[in-house]
């Protein structure tokens, strides 16, 4: 699997092992699996976890899990709490759009401040379908 992963990265000229990466990690299966793959493949990366405080103790448990994973893999982790509900009200947008806006604004800040080359996100098939639908609704097409 690591060979296929490395080949995919090289074939698509995504990044190299000389680059620094920031992995957005939720604590879910897809981002945790990608963390292990990047680690096993020898890439240099840090983690970024957003705690939107929308699921109470579960949100805090995800944060604790991500911190534990970072410690286990000896990685830097950036963690930030967000008041998504207030952002929704202020900007008159849905919870999902608010969370997306907040996290990507923060990711850009981390990339710039810490001179990190690339943001890496993990998505499963349902996420991809959701992104395509969102882009179509925005009128930006499949590529967004």
pLDDT of residue 86: 93
| Domain region containing 47 | 15-138
Number of independent structural domains in the chain: 1
Question: Is 144 contained in some domain?
Answer: no
pLDDT at 135 over 70: no
d(CA 64, CA 58): 10
**Dist. CA 22–CA 25, nearest whole Å:** 9
CATH number at 45 reads 3.40.50.620
Is 49 a residue whose pLDDT tops 90? yes
Q: What is the pLDDT of residue 6?
A: 87
> What tokens does 71 get?
């410690």
Q: Is residue 99 part of a domain?
A: yes
* pLDDT at residue 141, rounded to an integer: 47
pTM across the whole model: 0.83
Q: From the centroid of its chain, how far is CA 45? A: 12
Q: Give 63's strand partners.
A: none
Q: Which band of pLDDT confidence, cut at 50, 70 and 90, is reported for residue 136?
A: low
Distance of alpha carbon 45 from alpha carbon 119, whole angstroms: 9
Cα atoms in the Cβ-side hemisphere of radius 13 Å centred on 130: 8
Whether 7 is covered by a domain: the verdict is: no
Asked if the structure places residue 68 within a domain, the reply is: yes
């Amino acid at each position: 699997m690591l060979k296929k992963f490395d080949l995919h990265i090289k074939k698509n000229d995504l990044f190299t092992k000389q680059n620094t990466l920031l992995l957005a990690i939720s604590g879910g299966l897809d981002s945790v699996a990608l963390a292990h793959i990047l680690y096993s493949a020898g890439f240099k990366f840090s983690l970024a976890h957003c705690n939107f405080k929308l699921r109470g103790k579960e949100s805090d448990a995800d944060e604790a899990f991500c911190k534990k994973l970072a410690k286990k893999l000896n990685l830097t982790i950036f963690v930030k709490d967000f008041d998504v509900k207030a952002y929704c009200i202020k900007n008159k947008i849905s919870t999902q759009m608010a969370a997306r806006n907040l996290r990507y604004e923060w990711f850009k800040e981390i990339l710039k401040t810490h001179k990190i080359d690339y943001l890496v996100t993990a998505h499963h098939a349902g996420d991809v379908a959701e992104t395509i639908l969102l882009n179509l609704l925005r009128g930006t097409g499949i590529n967004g």
